[in-house]
A and B are shown apart, each in its own frame.
Chain A
Amino acid sequence: MAYEIVASLCTGCCACEPECPNEAISEKKNVFVIDPAKCTECIGHFDEPQCVAVCPIDHTCVIDKAYPRYEVTA
């Protein structure tokens, strides 16, 4: 699974963008989006997904169920 940003909740504050260790987050028409191909759920980098931890609006950065759980490939 990757994380996704609920566009209707996102304020476009950009707090998440620089925190992402994988540069998976970018701006699109005033809101921010996560590239599921790049998101590793922060596994291997941090204990908490950074976008979730820094986002001022609860339930804006959420698990995207369309993708399988990220696995660390050895």
Chain B
Amino acid sequence: MQSTIASVSTQEVKPLEQLLEKIADHKGCGTSSEGGKASCGSSGGPVDMAPEVWEKVKNHPCYSEEAHHHYARMHVAVAPACNIQCNYCNRKYDCANESRPGVVSEKLTPEQASKKVLAVASAIPQMTVLGIAGPGDPLANPAKTFKTFELIAKTAPDIKLCLSTNGLSLPDHVDTIKGFNVDHVTITINMVDPEVGQHIYPWIFWKNKRVTGIEASRILTERQMLGLEMLTAAGVLCKINSVMIPGINDKHLAEVNRAVKSRGAFLHNIMPLISAPEHGTVFGLNGQRGPTAQELKALQDSCEGDMNMMRHCRQCRADAVGLLGEDRSAEFTTEKIDEMSEVVYDAATRKAYQELVEAERSEKVAAKEAAMADLDVTDIKIMIAVATKGQGRVNEHFGHATEFQIYEVGSNGSKFVGHRRVDLYCQGGYGEEETLPSVVNAINDCHAVFVAKIGGCPRDELKAAGIDPVDRFADEFIEESAISYFKEYFARVCAREIVHVDRGDADIRQGAYSAAA
């Protein structure tokens, strides 16, 4: 391995930067494939995370808020069958709540899947994680799931493997998971009380029977807790996903948080229910609403004291390829994969890229720490929306943004608290009037919006809505800029030039994140 590293000169790194630029340039006004989005948050190792856990997750785009600026994951759809039914899921179509495509979307054999992974990993050096998340439950398709892992582990041992499951058959597979060195498992746990569960799960398929009602949820929660305990005991990292369903489990999720934390889960991701009649789900059809941005943030805040919360989950499509929020899957369709004769796995280029990224990440952390040095103490906190296409910088035009990163800034520094999807404001000349109000609604809880560039018209309208459009931090690091903006803001409050007010609530856009290919 040593010799491979030594043979990569800086010259050879250049093409990688060009590739990255190409990825970033890939998007633009009016085009439909929007690349380069990534969200981010904290600096180096979070204070409340054990060093050995941080070591494992720091390059994992789904687990580390900061890593998914730089690293990408992909999912392959090899597991179409499921063994339970959830009221927020319509098995036919792409599921907006779990990161998984619908059954009718692409379905791959383990052989096709591993070929695709190797092709993508060679073209996109930041691809470090492979996940299997469905369309059904990976552990209801154990043969296909583990065959895929086996094929990839053989050729590309540097790729991390992860899987998501509803947990029902998890206890049966812990040994195999451990055997494949899978170090990340996500379990979707929406309740620990069958009384609550009966409103979420109409049935499970268990021991050759369809079990319904309270009994179904009793078995499910028992299996989920057992599976979680067994994984923790086996040293496999475990993340919990929960879907927040107002009126059904919103009050109950704090209890779920305690239950999973006491069993060793290292991260808890609370996601908003995505629900609309056209999804054809039970919740969609009976008018069950999802939470507002403020409700979601309040719940995440209340659980945060207890354990690491993950706020950057985009509920992105499971078969997406690229950095979180960016989708290059059109380049790697099944047809194109089948056409490729032999895929040569490019380990050296990948290694070189990853070293480049590490240097950039340290620089970013240092910049934030320097900015933090002379921060005044105050209770005032403001929220800032940021248009970015990655690398932790303010580098996206307002009109090209399909989502905004939301940061909360106060005397404790800046913290990533979520992201908001919006419809493209700039569609090359049409639809602008219609989309601006929806952009304003999506970031209505923010005091300012950081952009690389913004037109005169949206600038005036944002000002009218009380949101300060800021373009002077173009291409700067996000967190460093947020902190210096806060310093200025606070100075003006002290000088009584402006009065600080908390802003209102904001909308969570309904519909899965799935950029058109």
Give A contacts to B, CB under 8 Å: 11-15, 18-19, 46-48, 50, 52-54, 56-57
Per-position contact with A for B49-86: 1 when CB-CB < 8 Å, else 0?
00000000000000000000000000000001111010
Q: How far is the CA of A30 from the CA of B127 in the complex (A)?
A: 30
Closest chain B CB from A63 CB (angstroms): 17
Tell which of B82, B83, B104 touches A12, judged by Cβ atoms closer than 8 Å: B104
> Judging by beta carbons under 8 Å apart, are B91 and A57 in contact?
yes
- Per DSSP, chain A at the interface is loop
List 5 contacting pairs A-B, 8 Å CB cutoff, sorted by A.
Answer: A12-B104, A15-B83, A15-B140, A15-B205, A47-B208
Per-position contact with A for B25-39: 1 when CB-CB < 8 Å, else 0?
000000000000000
Task: Let me know if B136 is at the binding interface, CB within 8 A.
Answer: yes
- Residues of chain A with a CB closer than 8 A to B197's CB: none
Q: Top 6 nearest A-B pairs by Cβ distance?
A: A15-B81, A53-B210, A11-B103, A56-B91, A13-B80, A13-B103
> Judging by beta carbons under 8 Å apart, are A11 and B83 in contact?
no
Q: How far is the CA of A57 from the CA of B103 in the complex (A)?
A: 12
- Residues of chain B with a CB closer than 8 A to A46's CB: 208-209
Closest chain B CB from A35 CB (angstroms): 19
Closest chain A CB from B290 CB (angstroms): 22
Tell which of B80, B102, B205 touches A14, judged by Cβ atoms closer than 8 Å: B80
Count, chain B residues at interface, CB 8 A: 19
> Judging by beta carbons under 8 Å apart, are B80 and A53 in contact?
no
> Judging by beta carbons under 8 Å apart, are A50 and B208 in contact?
yes
Task: Let me know if B472 is at the binding interface, CB within 8 A.
Answer: no
- Residues of chain A with a CB closer than 8 A to B91's CB: 11, 13, 56-57
- Residues of chain B with a CB closer than 8 A to A54's CB: 81, 83, 205, 210
- Residues of chain A with a CB closer than 8 A to B140's CB: 15
- Taking CB as reference atom, which chain A residue is nearest B85? A56
Task: Let me know if B135 is at the binding interface, CB within 8 A.
Answer: yes
Q: Which of A15, A18, A53, A57 has the most CB of B within 10 A?
A: A15
> Judging by beta carbons under 8 Å apart, are B210 and A12 in contact?
no
> Judging by beta carbons under 8 Å apart, are B82 and A13 in contact?
yes
Closest chain B CB from A50 CB (angstroms): 6
> Judging by beta carbons under 8 Å apart, are A47 and B103 in contact?
no
Known contacts: A11-B103, A57-B91. The answer to whether A47 contacts B136 by CB under 8 A is no
- Residues of chain B with a CB closer than 8 A to A12's CB: 80, 103-104, 107
Q: How far is the CA of A52 from the CA of B82 in the complex (A)?
A: 13
- Taking CB as reference atom, which chain A residue is nearest B135? A13
Closest chain A CB from B209 CB (angstroms): 6
- Residues of chain A with a CB closer than 8 A to B83's CB: 15, 54
Closest chain A CB from B120 CB (angstroms): 24
Per-position contact with A for B100-134: 1 when CB-CB < 8 Å, else 0?
00111001000000000000000000000000000
- Residues of chain A with a CB closer than 8 A to B173's CB: none
Known contacts: A56-B82, A56-B85. The answer to whether A11 contacts B92 by CB under 8 A is yes
- Residues of chain A with a CB closer than 8 A to B82's CB: 13, 15, 56
> Judging by beta carbons under 8 Å apart, are B104 and A11 in contact?
yes
